[in-house]
Structure 1
Amino acid sequence: MTNLKRILVALLALTMIFVLAACDNNSGTSSADPSSTDPVSDTSEDVSSEDPAPTDITVNVFIYDFADPYIASVRDAMKANFESASITADFFDAAGDQALQTEQIQTSISQDVDLLVVNIVTTASDDAAMTVVDAAKAADIPLIFFNREVSDAVVNSYEKCAFVGTDADEAGYLQGELIYDIISADFDKYDLDGNGKIRYIMFKGELGNAEADGRTQYSVEEANRLFTENSLGTLEYYEPAATDLFRPCNWKAADAQNDMQAALGTNPMDSPNAIELVIANNDDMALGAIEALSAAGYNTEGGDKSIPVVGVDATVPAQESIAKGRMTGTIKQDAEGMASGIVSLCSNIASGADLMANTENMNVDSGVAKIRIPYAKYTG
């Protein structure tokens, strides 16, 4: 019996050791090596069946050109909104190169990013956008285009695709209203040669771009409609024989400054055919034109000679120029509103909701997932 008792005691002791060891192992949150940089993944059935954490996604944002002043303001606002939403976001600069942007997107997809936000470079055709959609769709990754508009067909080709931007034509109509507001207040003052017409120069952002097309066409059409309705004169392009009633400057201040200098060479401000109005598709080109005017003695801070200069975006430099009396007005494109709309859709994905959930109070197009951010006139 003595030997049997000893054996039983030994077995009981071993059992207690195993029980205590098991309890100790279950008391921790992870059994991973604390020195490892790899994330610990719990693949148990209970955990995997739970919804993902609201902020547990990574978003990659692809910008057509970091150098664009308005897009820079959208980017800054997006960063702040992403931080508030506790969403991780990385930004990529295509520097105006569609091939580079497409490569950046394909690399991100291969790295299992959760959401793509794309400010597409090429807008003249659907080809580039469809390439992006096809890649996102094949990987089942939600996709948001913004600012630079893609067609309805592109958005509708993928149920997890949306667009956040503006009504391309609205800025043109509002710019036309703004031109009328400014000039109709004292038509004779702005009609420098007294011929009953306002001679203008137009700086267009980009050929084949919906925003540039709408702003170029409807700013002049709407201003002339209002002038005619109120028995005033009309706008007349400064080059009567021109077939294209605009100077393409690719949204850039330097290009507009150079073209304005050339225009002032053929139409000096002290001549009977002087330019009487500057219309630009964006503020950067308007500011470039102002620099050329300033060199000719016009639109200087505190000066007594100026002509109306109007743009689009209401960037900080434009607002400062308006405050100094150099620029006359602009159409505000709401950078914060656009950023908020984009991050709202990203938050839907982060919380496991549909991409277009919670958009009842937004301005959404009928039949396509496009959210429109309104414009507004700005004169200081």
Structure 2
Amino acid sequence: MRKNRFAALLLAGALAAGMAGCGAQPQEESPGVAVSPSAQPELEAGKVAVLYYDFEDAYLSNVRESLDVSLEDAGLTYQDYDCANDQQTQDQAVDTALADGCSILAVNLVSSGDQQAAQAILDKAAAAGARVIFFNRPVEEMDQEGALLGAEAYRDMVAFVGTDAPQAGHLQGQMIGSYLLNHYDEVDRNGDGIITYALLQGEDDNAEAVYRTQYSVEDANLLLTQGGRPELIYFDPEGTHSFQVDESGAWSAEAAQAYMTDNLAEFNEAKGNMIELVICNNDEMAQGAITALQAAGYNTGDIGGKTIPVFGVDATPTAQALIAQGMMTGTVKQDHEAMAAAICQLAQASAGGAGLADAAASLVAGDSTYSLAEGLDNKIYVAYATFTVR
């Protein structure tokens, strides 16, 4: 199904190649055919291309909505591209945007943490005289921080706006641990004194996913043991890992729903081995898990009904509604408005001639929502925050 969408996107992009981006009501263009550097027109100051890894991502849909408004209010010309979770499609979008005269590329990298993919985009931008603002998805391997962002070759032409990956996991783990200590007997449905959990991870090697998986459990266990309770136990004793990965890399509700449907067929109250807690790397996966639980008679929001605690990350509008309805327990807010504002301010400063490192320093100095990564003056972190717990 996605492959058909890719073909449609590429065809639409080919027809649209060479058309200028618009301002107040941008068309959501698809990538077009690659254009050689020699054919590129002169870049236009303040013309921005925003390349999203996938329009279908719920959190990034919120970022896109906020960023469109911010760029419009800032008077910048912009164009949104849907890269449909395909790196080749994104590479072609970069070529199209540069050929169209975009001097600023805001890139939500498809291949998360893939330095080769990120460097290829940087090299194309550098050759054309454009600047790159990576956002949301890591551009370096977990043990290679600064390999690209700190490279002298890209000085002042690149910045990153994202989050401090471990922070979400720590906040989620502390939230889970505190909740369980206050509701232990209620959550321990089979009364064996141990709480079993399922964990749904967005991607295999994504730093955000890895740290959320690690610290959500580690920090919850720390609080539990300090409170005189045993550590959490993964629901499937025969599982190779203590988590289940969305193999598509899309962090999707569909993958989470499929996993939980299968899980509940084998691990349920009738067999005395019910999953008693669900931890999700994002709210979209939490939504899918809740759909599966509801099909099994749980998390309906009915007073006195059976509820399995489900925790996510992002604080999307859907998650907030699920929490308000008593169907979801808690989430960690990833501030899409603050992320969009930071990207816009960097783009605006760059359009005015400022280097991105100087623009990042000015942004962080003026707003406590932001901080800089240690040792890097162009990597901006947007703070996470606990949203709510029932």
TM-score normalised by length of structure 1: 0.83
Note the C-alpha offset of 1:156.
1.9
1: CA distance between counterparts of 2:103 and 2:126? 12
Give the match for residue 89 of structure 1.
Answer: 78
Task: Confirm or deny: 8 A CA contact 2:279 2:312 kept in the other structure.
Answer: yes
What residue number does 1:212 align with?
209
Q: Give 3-state SS (helix, strand or coil) of 1:107's partner.
A: helix
Distance in 1 between the 2:333 and 2:382 partners?
A: 11
Confirm whether residue 377 of structure 1 aligns to residue 386 of structure 2: yes
Alignment match of 1:194 (pick from 175, 186, 191): 191
The equivalent of 2:9 in structure 1 is: none
**Superposition deviation, residue 66 in structure 1:** 0.1
Residue 273 of structure 1: aligned partner: 273
1:155 match: 149
| 1:296-328 per-position Cα deviation (integer Å, ceiling 9, x unaligned) | 110002151101000000001111111110011
CA root-mean-square deviation: 1.5
Q: Does 1:178 align with 2:175?
A: yes
Separation (CA, whole Å) in 2 of partners of 1:270 and 1:76: 45
**CA separation in 2, counterparts of 1:184 and 1:57?**
52
Structure 1 stretch displaced more, 93-102 or 354-363: 354-363
Q: How big is each residue's C-alpha offset from its partner over 1:307-353, in whole Å with a ceiling of 9 and x where there is no partner?
A: 10000000011111111100111011000010011111011112222
CA contact (8 A) 1:197 1:233 kept: yes
**Cα pair 2:113 2:139 within 8 Å, conserved:** no
Instruction: Please report how far the alpha carbon of residue 124 of structure 1 lies from its aligned counterpart in structure 2 after TM superposition.
Output: 4.5
1:231 Cα deviation after fit: 1.4
After superposition, what is the alpha-carbon deviation per residue over 1:37-89, rounded to whole angstroms, capped at 9, x for unaligned? Answer: x9xxxxxxxxxxxxxxxx95100000000000000000000011111111111
Tell whether the 8 Å contact from 1:277 to 1:307 is kept in structure 2 after alignment. Answer: yes
Query: Given that residues 171 and 332 in structure 2 are in contact (C-alpha distance below 8 angstroms), is that contact kept between their aligned partners in structure 1?
Result: yes
Which blocks of at least 5 consecutive residues in structure 2 are unaligned?
1-19, 21-43, 141-145
Q: Would you say the 8 A contact 1:56–1:87 is kept in 2?
A: no
Contact 2:46 2:348 in 1 (8 A): no
Residue 364 (structure 2) pairs with residue 363 (structure 1)? no
Q: Which residue of 2 aligns with 1:324?
A: 325
Which deviates more, 322-331 or 190-199? 190-199
Q: Show the counterpart of 1:257.
A: 257
Unaligned ranges ≥5, structure 1: 1-37, 39-54
What do residues 4-56 of structure 1 show as CA deviations (whole Å, max 9, x unaligned)? xxxxxxxxxxxxxxxxxxxxxxxxxxxxxxxxxx9xxxxxxxxxxxxxxxx95
Measured after TM superposition, the shift of residue 166 of structure 1 is 0.5
Structure 2 residue matching 1:96: 3-state secondary structure: coil
User: Residues 106-145 of structure 1, C-alpha deviation per residue, up to 9 Å, x if partnerless?
Assistant: 2222333110100000025311111111111222211100
1:1-380 alignment runs, 5 A limit: 57-151=46-140, 152-157=146-151, 158-159=154-155, 160-249=157-246, 250=249, 251-303=251-303, 304-356=305-357, 357=359, 358-359=362-363, 360-361=365-366, 362-368=370-376, 369-379=378-388
Contact 2:190/2:269 (<8 A) preserved: no
Local SS of the residue matching 2:289: helix
Sequence identity of aligned pairs in percent?
43
- Asked whether the 8 Å contact 2:46–2:347 carries over to 1, the reply is no
**Number of aligned residues:** 327
What TM-score does the superposition give when structure 2 sets the normalisation length?
0.81
2:384 maps to amino acid: Y
Equivalent pair of 1:66/1:72 in contact (CA under 8 Å): yes
Structure 2: distance between partners of 1:373 and 1:115: 21
The letter of the residue matching 1:129 is: A
Contact 1:252 1:284 (8 Å CA) reproduced: yes
Secondary structure of the residue aligned to 2:125 is helix
Partner amino acid for 1:188? D
Residue type at the aligned position of 2:195: I
